[in-house]
A and B are shown apart, each in its own frame.
Chain A
């Protein structure tokens, strides 16, 4: 809420709002409490930050590459992408509207000035450690084991047991990666992609850009040119990753974009569960997040990728918020491999995101479970693509969209069965729930079947919360907001049960917070 006419020096007095006489103090207090609670990750961290010069040109691409001390081949790769990006136009087919992005007014690189190559956790600036602690992401391994005092309850409690290894990405750099030594004992490589470029160049060369090619789409090509950091994971053959891996993305600096790149390779017969969380401070300007995630599952491997996306969604008038334009794709390259995407999307002003599976290996399986909640002025156009290329490939899509306030929520999906994908199977269910008369819920599925023996099923519904169900819950003495939250939790249960325990708790409370203020 901007009650100072745009002047920055907010103070306590300024928070005094004139309230009509008819409204009792308790209500005002409760509303205020809600406001501050609404986006608990909205604080910013005071830390000296080093930026690349503002804007985008070839020199910026070179600047990032030099900062990362990258080999020549990677710089050439970036420059090729940049050249291509200059010839591309921003896509406009999604059902989202936003102010045109001025790429010359964004910092494409921002890092804590103290440097990002911290030898040990003790070298990481205290401000950053505190930031993650406040977000419920302890970066000190000992703290993870003991539990962190004062950490946000839901996330921290969930993360205590079992242990989760975390790669923390702060603006454009990875600041810490926990449990690396223990993971290395199992042969698991878990590090920032910048380090992996130096330590495992062969693996990077072999897989980078093979799932999401440089020319894939406008935002992916931009990412190829300017990606700054991200996570690299390699699970060797036959290894079941001993703990959950996770990356926590935090955008802190003003006017910056975050362009991380994640590459996960599950070699033959391996398994990994990977979690991703994201938050940003509450700011008045829009910030761009254009990430690329590539997953490769070889024979008999399985990757489970879960996201709780809680970027700052902007205020109730649509001011500020993150533009989340992300390309995520998994390649089931080996026979009997499996990739499962689970996402809870509550944040971002604009979401443009389609985690997909290329089902190349015979008998491979792709799954997509999604909850997308929009409130206020948020707009989300999200869904998945299941590309059936191999024989007997199976896919399942469960999407639950909830729209409230003045938001728009679109499910957009593609199920494509290639001529050679014999006995392919897909089931899709996408349900939309409208809360209030000023929001929109849309479903745009594309189904392309080129195989006689494929079996494809799709069903979708759009309804409001049932008055009868609401009445039933309320007559048991439960308040309206809580009753809505209960029913919404029931509506999304199919998806929540696919989230790892660590995230399920957090997701549930996020859902509740996201929908606060949407009733009445």
Chain B
């Protein structure tokens, strides 16, 4: 890197200790134009903080007082992998690939992967693009889907008491083919950031199922940038347990007509945990559909955040159908839930709606179960599990069962 650390520091406004650490890491990486652009974009905002409108409830700058090693290795079990699943293990050392790529998939390991989407517009995506990789190693994995892939692609991100774990995967789905992606993000690093970019060509289909777990002393970001081609279908299901601060952000662009997106998520947060589900959907083509259901349950000391936005540009977004629902349960006093379901509509022939509710469990339902001899803890767990189940219906079936069990275990353990 030709720029000195002092030059790089000057690009940031009053850099925090964690930002100084990230600047030092960047200075050690090989220079290339893309990386420089991403770093410049990151330098404009630094680590996102509460004074930035889109991050007012998820302050990474204050949560990351320094980049420190995690106290634990990855948290909990990964989602189940089918016997023939194609497993990609992501750690601080890089991405471990299977020995041979299965039929229908091509892995490209490259340092100059073309940028998809708008990574530079999302602060933590820009940061990941700037800092991913290491000297002499791959910085981005490109997965090209060219034919029928029978087994799911399972990405397991787990650190081993690391300071950081940054990874970037780009997926290109060729016309008419489909892919199933399962992701288990288990923390184990003081600061994990995973960036996935998916470009779907005409008639492509992707189903993505994501499990997020982290430690109470860790910061985690999972960012997905999705571009949808004509008639393509994208389905995403997330279960997040949060971390000290955790953000699962998804940016979807309907680029061509007739595409469909389904974005479902559930979050469960215990004491000291924070989970942020943020989505931004741009209907950049006519006759596209987006459906979104997010459900959450939060305990004393936990924080749930939901931010959703549908953006329908002038003229080109006609005949959009978009529906967004967020429903949250505050299971105990001391829980907090923040929501901002947003519509920005510039086309008239559209149907867009959102709904947002938050409140306590229905006492009558609890009473009904308890009078049948079910203890309070199980009754609450049972009702909460049933409440969030709707948001998990679209997941990979094996993963769905495992997610519901994980939810039930969590709810019974913390009660």
B330 near A432 (CB under 8 angstroms)? no
- Map CB proximity to B onto A199-217 as digits: 1 under 8 Å, 0 otherwise: 0000000000000000000
A437 and B340 alpha carbons, distance in the complex (Å): 26
The interface residues of chain B lying within 8 Å CB-to-CB of A454 are 330, 358-360
A209 and B315 alpha carbons, distance in the complex (Å): 46
A434 near B331 (CB under 8 angstroms)? no
Chain B nearest CB from A6 CB (Å) reads 31
Q: Name the prevailing secondary structure of the A interface residues.
A: strand
13 pairs from A and B in contact (CB 8 Å cutoff): A438-B314, A443-B354, A445-B339, A445-B356, A446-B338, A447-B358, A448-B339, A452-B335, A454-B358, A458-B357, A462-B343, A462-B345, A462-B351
A456 near B348 (CB under 8 angstroms)? no
B347 near A451 (CB under 8 angstroms)? no
B336 near A445 (CB under 8 angstroms)? no
- Map CB proximity to B onto A417-460 as digits: 1 under 8 Å, 0 otherwise: 00100000000000010111111111111111111111111111
Is B33 in the interface zone, CB < 8 Å from A?
no
Decide yes or no: A456 and B314 within 8 Å by CB, A440-B345, A462-B345, A462-B350 being known contacts. Answer: no
A463 and B351 alpha carbons, distance in the complex (Å): 5
Closest partner residue, chain A, to B309 (CB atom): A444
Of A445, A453, A459, A464, the residue contacting B360 (CB under 8 A) is A453
Is A461 in the interface zone, CB < 8 Å from B?
yes
- Map CB proximity to A onto B293-326 as digits: 1 under 8 Å, 0 otherwise: 0000000000000000000001100100000000
Closest partner residue, chain A, to B343 (CB atom): A443
The interface residues of chain B lying within 8 Å CB-to-CB of A449 are 328, 330, 336-339, 358-359
Is B352 in the interface zone, CB < 8 Å from A?
yes
The interface residues of chain B lying within 8 Å CB-to-CB of A447 are 337-340, 356, 358
Interface core residue of A419, A434, A443, A463 (most chain B CB under 10 Å): A443
The A-B contact count (CB < 8 A) is: 122
A448 and B306 alpha carbons, distance in the complex (Å): 10
The interface residues of chain B lying within 8 Å CB-to-CB of A456 are 356-359
Interface core residue of A432, A438, A456 (most chain B CB under 10 Å): A456
B345 near A436 (CB under 8 angstroms)? no
- Map CB proximity to A onto B349-377 as digits: 1 under 8 Å, 0 otherwise: 11111111111100000000000000000
Decide yes or no: A434 and B343 within 8 Å by CB, A93-B53, A449-B336, A458-B355 being known contacts. Answer: no
Is B344 in the interface zone, CB < 8 Å from A?
yes
Decide yes or no: A448 and B336 within 8 Å by CB, A454-B358, A456-B357 being known contacts. Answer: yes
The interface residues of chain A lying within 8 Å CB-to-CB of B15 are none
The interface residues of chain B lying within 8 Å CB-to-CB of A459 are 353-356
Which residues of B are interface residues toward A (Cβ below 8 A)? 53, 314-315, 318, 328, 330-360
A445 near B330 (CB under 8 angstroms)? no
Of B334, B349, B353, the residue contacting A464 (CB under 8 A) is B349
- Map CB proximity to B onto A159-201 as digits: 1 under 8 Å, 0 otherwise: 0000000000000000000000000000000000000000000
Of A441, A455, A460, the residue contacting B341 (CB under 8 A) is A460
A461 near B353 (CB under 8 angstroms)? yes
A438 and B349 alpha carbons, distance in the complex (Å): 11
B344 near A460 (CB under 8 angstroms)? no
The interface residues of chain B lying within 8 Å CB-to-CB of A432 are 343, 345
Interface core residue of A419, A432, A438, A446 (most chain B CB under 10 Å): A446
Chain B nearest CB from A316 CB (Å) reads 18
A45 and B316 alpha carbons, distance in the complex (Å): 47
Decide yes or no: A452 and B340 within 8 Å by CB, A435-B348, A442-B345, A463-B351 being known contacts. Answer: no
A442 near B343 (CB under 8 angstroms)? yes
Closest partner residue, chain B, to A458 (CB atom): B356
- Map CB proximity to B onto A449-488 as digits: 1 under 8 Å, 0 otherwise: 1111111111111111000000000000000000000000
B328 near A461 (CB under 8 angstroms)? no
A454 and B329 alpha carbons, distance in the complex (Å): 10
Closest partner residue, chain A, to B359 (CB atom): A455
A463 and B353 alpha carbons, distance in the complex (Å): 9
CB-CB nearest 3 A-B residue pairs: A434-B348, A458-B356, A452-B330
A450 near B347 (CB under 8 angstroms)? no
A449 and B339 alpha carbons, distance in the complex (Å): 9
Of B315, B350, B355, the residue contacting A463 (CB under 8 A) is B350
The interface residues of chain A lying within 8 Å CB-to-CB of B337 are 447-449
A462 near B342 (CB under 8 angstroms)? no
Closest partner residue, chain A, to B351 (CB atom): A463
Closest partner residue, chain B, to A448 (CB atom): B338
A458 near B348 (CB under 8 angstroms)? no
A419 and B334 alpha carbons, distance in the complex (Å): 7
The interface residues of chain B lying within 8 Å CB-to-CB of A450 are 335-336
Chain A nearest CB from B302 CB (Å) reads 11
A449 and B342 alpha carbons, distance in the complex (Å): 17
Decide yes or no: A460 and B336 within 8 Å by CB, A434-B348, A449-B330, A451-B330 being known contacts. Answer: no
Closest partner residue, chain A, to B307 (CB atom): A446
A93 and B51 alpha carbons, distance in the complex (Å): 12
The interface residues of chain A lying within 8 Å CB-to-CB of B346 are 439-440
Chain A nearest CB from B142 CB (Å) reads 37
Of A444, A457, A463, the residue contacting B357 (CB under 8 A) is A457
B343 near A460 (CB under 8 angstroms)? yes
A452 and B336 alpha carbons, distance in the complex (Å): 8
- Map CB proximity to B onto A322-344 as digits: 1 under 8 Å, 0 otherwise: 00000000000000000000000
Interface core residue of A435, A448, A449, A453 (most chain B CB under 10 Å): A449
A440 near B328 (CB under 8 angstroms)? no
Of A441, A452, A463, the residue contacting B331 (CB under 8 A) is A452
A95 and B345 alpha carbons, distance in the complex (Å): 12
A444 near B359 (CB under 8 angstroms)? no
The interface residues of chain A lying within 8 Å CB-to-CB of B335 are 450, 452
Chain B nearest CB from A471 CB (Å) reads 15
A464 and B352 alpha carbons, distance in the complex (Å): 10
Chain B nearest CB from A29 CB (Å) reads 30
B350 near A458 (CB under 8 angstroms)? no
A452 near B338 (CB under 8 angstroms)? no
B352 near A462 (CB under 8 angstroms)? yes
The interface residues of chain B lying within 8 Å CB-to-CB of A441 are 343, 345
Decide yes or no: A439 and B339 within 8 Å by CB, A452-B360, A461-B353 being known contacts. Answer: no
Chain B nearest CB from A325 CB (Å) reads 20
Beyond A93-B53, A95-B344, A440-B344, 6 additional contacts (C-beta under 8 Å) are A432-B345, A447-B339, A452-B331, A458-B341, A459-B355, A461-B353
The interface residues of chain A lying within 8 Å CB-to-CB of B358 are 447, 449, 454-456
The interface residues of chain B lying within 8 Å CB-to-CB of A436 are 348
Of A95, A419, A460, the residue contacting B353 (CB under 8 A) is A460
Of A434, A442, A446, A455, the residue contacting B344 (CB under 8 A) is A442
A440 and B313 alpha carbons, distance in the complex (Å): 9
Closest partner residue, chain A, to B310 (CB atom): A462
Closest partner residue, chain A, to B333 (CB atom): A452
Interface core residue of A447, A453, A461 (most chain B CB under 10 Å): A447
A437 near B331 (CB under 8 angstroms)? no
Chain A nearest CB from B275 CB (Å) reads 15
Decide yes or no: A462 and B353 within 8 Å by CB, A93-B53, A451-B330 being known contacts. Answer: yes
B315 near A452 (CB under 8 angstroms)? no
